[in-house]
Amino acid sequence: MTGKVLLAACSREAATHAVMKWHYSKAMPAGKIIGYGVWDDNGFAGSVIYGRGANPRLGERYGLDQVEVCELVRVALKPRHQFPTSQAVSMSLRQIRCENPGLRLVLSYADTKEKHHGGIYQAMNWVYVGETFAQTVVLHGKRVHQRTVVSKYGTAKIEYLRKYVDPTAYRIMQEAKHKYLMPLDKQMRRRVMKDAKPYPGKVEEELGVWSFDD
Protein backbone atom coordinates (compact mmCIF):
# COMPACT_ATOMS: atom_id res chain seq x y z
CA MET A 1 0.00 0.00 0.00
CA THR A 2 1.68 3.16 -1.19
CA GLY A 3 0.43 6.52 -2.35
CA LYS A 4 -0.13 10.08 -1.31
CA VAL A 5 -2.08 10.56 1.92
CA LEU A 6 -3.53 13.77 3.34
CA LEU A 7 -4.97 14.26 6.82
CA ALA A 8 -6.97 17.30 7.97
CA ALA A 9 -9.74 18.20 10.39
CA CYS A 10 -13.17 17.09 9.20
CA SER A 11 -16.74 17.78 10.23
CA ARG A 12 -18.76 15.54 12.52
CA GLU A 13 -20.93 14.72 9.51
CA ALA A 14 -17.92 13.45 7.54
CA ALA A 15 -16.66 11.45 10.52
CA THR A 16 -20.12 9.95 11.03
CA HIS A 17 -20.29 9.00 7.36
CA ALA A 18 -17.00 7.12 7.69
CA VAL A 19 -18.10 5.32 10.86
CA MET A 20 -21.46 4.27 9.46
CA LYS A 21 -19.91 3.06 6.21
CA TRP A 22 -16.61 1.51 7.27
CA HIS A 23 -16.47 0.87 11.05
CA TYR A 24 -17.73 -2.45 12.39
CA SER A 25 -19.69 -0.78 15.23
CA LYS A 26 -21.87 1.38 12.93
CA ALA A 27 -22.17 3.70 15.93
CA MET A 28 -20.83 7.20 16.51
CA PRO A 29 -19.65 8.00 20.07
CA ALA A 30 -21.78 10.49 21.95
CA GLY A 31 -20.39 13.81 23.08
CA LYS A 32 -17.76 16.10 21.64
CA ILE A 33 -15.30 14.55 19.21
CA ILE A 34 -12.28 15.64 17.21
CA GLY A 35 -12.37 14.07 13.79
CA TYR A 36 -9.59 13.95 11.21
CA GLY A 37 -10.43 13.06 7.65
CA VAL A 38 -8.00 11.05 5.55
CA TRP A 39 -7.66 11.35 1.78
CA ASP A 40 -5.65 9.31 -0.72
CA ASP A 41 -5.40 9.42 -4.51
CA ASN A 42 -8.94 8.03 -4.75
CA GLY A 43 -10.51 10.71 -2.55
CA PHE A 44 -12.00 10.54 0.95
CA ALA A 45 -10.67 7.41 2.65
CA GLY A 46 -12.18 7.67 6.12
CA SER A 47 -11.68 9.27 9.51
CA VAL A 48 -9.66 8.93 12.71
CA ILE A 49 -11.72 10.13 15.67
CA TYR A 50 -10.87 11.18 19.23
CA GLY A 51 -13.13 11.93 22.19
CA ARG A 52 -13.05 12.58 25.91
CA GLY A 53 -15.35 9.70 26.74
CA ALA A 54 -18.10 9.68 29.34
CA ASN A 55 -15.71 8.74 32.15
CA PRO A 56 -14.64 11.88 34.06
CA ARG A 57 -11.82 9.85 35.66
CA LEU A 58 -10.26 8.73 32.38
CA GLY A 59 -6.71 9.70 33.38
CA GLU A 60 -7.05 9.59 37.14
CA ARG A 61 -4.75 6.57 37.56
CA TYR A 62 -1.89 8.56 36.08
CA GLY A 63 -2.59 11.83 37.85
CA LEU A 64 -4.14 13.50 34.81
CA ASP A 65 -7.19 15.71 34.60
CA GLN A 66 -9.74 15.59 31.79
CA VAL A 67 -7.91 18.03 29.48
CA GLU A 68 -4.67 16.01 29.64
CA VAL A 69 -6.07 12.73 28.34
CA CYS A 70 -8.35 11.61 25.53
CA GLU A 71 -9.46 8.42 23.83
CA LEU A 72 -8.95 7.27 20.26
CA VAL A 73 -12.54 6.15 19.78
CA ARG A 74 -12.78 5.18 16.10
CA VAL A 75 -10.50 4.38 13.17
CA ALA A 76 -12.94 4.17 10.26
CA LEU A 77 -11.14 3.69 6.95
CA LYS A 78 -12.42 2.32 3.66
CA PRO A 79 -11.21 -1.11 2.53
CA ARG A 80 -8.14 -1.19 0.28
CA HIS A 81 -6.96 2.33 1.13
CA GLN A 82 -3.58 3.27 -0.30
CA PHE A 83 -1.66 3.74 2.96
CA PRO A 84 -0.94 1.75 6.14
CA THR A 85 -3.60 2.31 8.81
CA SER A 86 -0.87 3.10 11.32
CA GLN A 87 0.33 5.93 9.09
CA ALA A 88 -3.05 7.64 9.30
CA VAL A 89 -3.21 7.11 13.07
CA SER A 90 0.32 8.44 13.61
CA MET A 91 -0.44 11.54 11.52
CA SER A 92 -3.59 12.16 13.57
CA LEU A 93 -1.68 11.77 16.84
CA ARG A 94 0.87 14.36 15.81
CA GLN A 95 -1.91 16.70 14.74
CA ILE A 96 -3.97 16.40 17.91
CA ARG A 97 -0.85 16.81 20.03
CA CYS A 98 0.09 19.97 18.10
CA GLU A 99 -3.41 21.40 18.50
CA ASN A 100 -3.66 20.49 22.21
CA PRO A 101 -0.30 21.26 23.92
CA GLY A 102 -1.58 20.13 27.33
CA LEU A 103 -2.52 16.66 26.08
CA ARG A 104 -0.25 13.99 27.58
CA LEU A 105 -1.92 10.62 27.11
CA VAL A 106 -4.16 8.88 24.57
CA LEU A 107 -6.06 5.67 25.32
CA SER A 108 -7.59 3.16 22.97
CA TYR A 109 -9.17 -0.28 23.08
CA ALA A 110 -9.17 -3.39 20.88
CA ASP A 111 -12.42 -5.34 21.03
CA THR A 112 -11.86 -9.07 21.68
CA LYS A 113 -15.47 -9.73 20.64
CA GLU A 114 -14.42 -8.71 17.12
CA LYS A 115 -11.24 -10.84 17.36
CA HIS A 116 -9.11 -7.67 17.54
CA HIS A 117 -5.89 -7.73 19.52
CA GLY A 118 -4.49 -4.28 18.71
CA GLY A 119 -1.87 -5.07 16.09
CA ILE A 120 -1.91 -1.49 14.79
CA TYR A 121 -1.14 -0.15 18.29
CA GLN A 122 1.62 -2.70 18.72
CA ALA A 123 3.25 -1.64 15.44
CA MET A 124 3.22 1.96 16.70
CA ASN A 125 4.76 1.12 20.09
CA TRP A 126 1.69 1.83 22.22
CA VAL A 127 1.88 0.50 25.77
CA TYR A 128 -0.36 -2.48 26.47
CA VAL A 129 -1.77 -2.55 30.01
CA GLY A 130 -4.05 -5.61 29.90
CA GLU A 131 -7.73 -6.36 29.49
CA THR A 132 -10.62 -4.31 30.76
CA PHE A 133 -14.12 -5.67 31.23
CA ALA A 134 -16.72 -3.08 30.29
CA GLN A 135 -20.13 -3.24 31.87
CA THR A 136 -23.46 -2.25 30.39
CA VAL A 137 -26.42 -1.23 32.51
CA VAL A 138 -29.95 -1.90 31.26
CA LEU A 139 -32.28 1.00 32.11
CA HIS A 140 -35.90 1.10 30.97
CA GLY A 141 -35.16 -1.79 28.64
CA LYS A 142 -32.21 -0.10 26.90
CA ARG A 143 -28.50 -0.89 27.21
CA VAL A 144 -26.43 2.04 28.48
CA HIS A 145 -22.64 1.97 28.89
CA GLN A 146 -21.64 2.11 32.55
CA ARG A 147 -19.51 5.23 31.95
CA THR A 148 -22.55 7.02 30.53
CA VAL A 149 -24.61 6.00 33.56
CA VAL A 150 -21.95 7.32 35.95
CA SER A 151 -21.72 10.57 34.01
CA LYS A 152 -25.49 11.10 34.17
CA TYR A 153 -26.39 9.78 37.64
CA GLY A 154 -23.10 9.97 39.54
CA THR A 155 -23.01 6.22 40.16
CA ALA A 156 -23.64 2.90 38.46
CA LYS A 157 -24.59 1.01 41.62
CA ILE A 158 -27.59 -1.15 40.84
CA GLU A 159 -29.14 -0.55 44.26
CA TYR A 160 -29.18 3.21 43.66
CA LEU A 161 -30.44 2.89 40.09
CA ARG A 162 -33.27 0.56 41.13
CA LYS A 163 -34.32 2.94 43.89
CA TYR A 164 -34.14 6.25 42.02
CA VAL A 165 -34.07 5.55 38.25
CA ASP A 166 -35.54 2.20 37.18
CA PRO A 167 -36.72 -0.55 39.56
CA THR A 168 -35.86 -3.18 36.95
CA ALA A 169 -32.26 -2.00 36.31
CA TYR A 170 -29.59 -4.67 35.97
CA ARG A 171 -26.00 -5.05 34.77
CA ILE A 172 -24.53 -7.07 31.89
CA MET A 173 -20.85 -8.01 31.71
CA GLN A 174 -19.49 -7.56 28.18
CA GLU A 175 -16.55 -9.13 26.36
CA ALA A 176 -13.09 -7.98 27.41
CA LYS A 177 -11.21 -5.28 25.53
CA HIS A 178 -7.45 -4.92 25.23
CA LYS A 179 -6.35 -1.54 26.58
CA TYR A 180 -3.52 0.44 25.00
CA LEU A 181 -1.91 3.75 25.98
CA MET A 182 0.11 6.23 23.94
CA PRO A 183 2.08 8.59 26.21
CA LEU A 184 2.93 11.88 24.54
CA ASP A 185 6.06 12.75 26.52
CA LYS A 186 8.94 10.89 28.15
CA GLN A 187 7.74 11.45 31.72
CA MET A 188 4.32 10.03 30.93
CA ARG A 189 5.85 7.03 29.16
CA ARG A 190 7.89 6.23 32.29
CA ARG A 191 4.73 6.51 34.36
CA VAL A 192 2.58 4.18 32.24
CA MET A 193 5.37 1.65 31.65
CA LYS A 194 4.93 0.56 35.26
CA ASP A 195 1.66 -1.07 34.10
CA ALA A 196 3.03 -2.49 30.83
CA LYS A 197 2.29 -6.10 29.91
CA PRO A 198 3.41 -8.30 26.98
CA TYR A 199 1.48 -7.72 23.77
CA PRO A 200 -1.31 -10.18 22.98
CA GLY A 201 -1.49 -11.80 19.53
CA LYS A 202 0.72 -10.83 16.62
CA VAL A 203 1.73 -7.49 15.16
CA GLU A 204 -0.30 -6.83 12.00
CA GLU A 205 1.89 -4.12 10.50
CA GLU A 206 5.67 -4.03 10.88
CA LEU A 207 6.58 -0.35 10.60
CA GLY A 208 9.23 -0.09 13.28
CA VAL A 209 9.20 1.50 16.73
CA TRP A 210 7.22 4.75 16.86
CA SER A 211 6.78 7.12 19.78
CA PHE A 212 6.99 10.77 20.88
CA ASP A 213 10.16 10.15 22.88
CA ASP A 214 12.55 11.25 20.13
In a domain, 114, yes or no: yes
Cβ 182 vs Cβ 191: under 8 Å? no
**pLDDT exceeds 80 at position 170:** yes
pLDDT band for 53, please (50, 70, 90 cuts): low
pLDDT band for 91, please (50, 70, 90 cuts): very high
Q: What is the pLDDT of residue 107?
A: 94
In a domain, 51, yes or no: yes
**pLDDT exceeds 80 at position 41:** yes
**pLDDT exceeds 90 at position 149:** no
**pLDDT exceeds 50 at position 116:** yes
* Total number of domains constituting the chain: 1
Cβ 15 vs Cβ 49: under 8 Å? yes
Q: What is the pLDDT of residue 3?
A: 66
In a domain, 64, yes or no: yes
Select the more confidently predicted residue: 208 or 31: 31
In a domain, 22, yes or no: yes
Domain interval for residue 191: 6-132+176-195
In a domain, 150, yes or no: no
Residue 201 and residue 67: Cα distance in Å, rounded? Answer: 32
Q: Which of 136, 90, 92 is nearest to 113 (CA)?
A: 136
Q: What is the pLDDT of residue 112?
A: 72
Mean pLDDT of 35-59: 87
> For residue 107, what is the domain's CATH number?
3.40.630.30
Neighbouring-strand partners of residue 49:
35, 74
Work out the mean pLDDT of the chain and round it to a whole number.
85
Q: What is the pLDDT of residue 54?
A: 58
In a domain, 148, yes or no: no
In a domain, 36, yes or no: yes
**pLDDT exceeds 70 at position 207:** no
pTM: 0.78
Q: What is the pLDDT of residue 66?
A: 86
Select the more confidently predicted residue: 47 or 119: 47
Cβ 77 vs Cβ 37: under 8 Å? no
In a domain, 160, yes or no: no
pLDDT band for 205, please (50, 70, 90 cuts): very low
3-state secondary structure the chain: CCCCCEEEECCHHHHHHHHHHHCCCCCCCCCCEEEEEEEECCEEEEEEEEECCCCCCCCHHHCCCHHHEEEEEEEEECCCCCCCHHHHHHHHHHHHHHHCCCCCEEEEEEEHHHCCCCHHHHHCCCEEEEEEEEEEEEECCEEEEHHHHHHHHCCCCHHHHHHHCCCCCEEEEEEEEEEEEEECCHHHHHHHHHHCCCCCCCCCCCCCCCCCCC
Select the more confidently predicted residue: 144 or 209: 144
Mean pLDDT of 26-51: 92
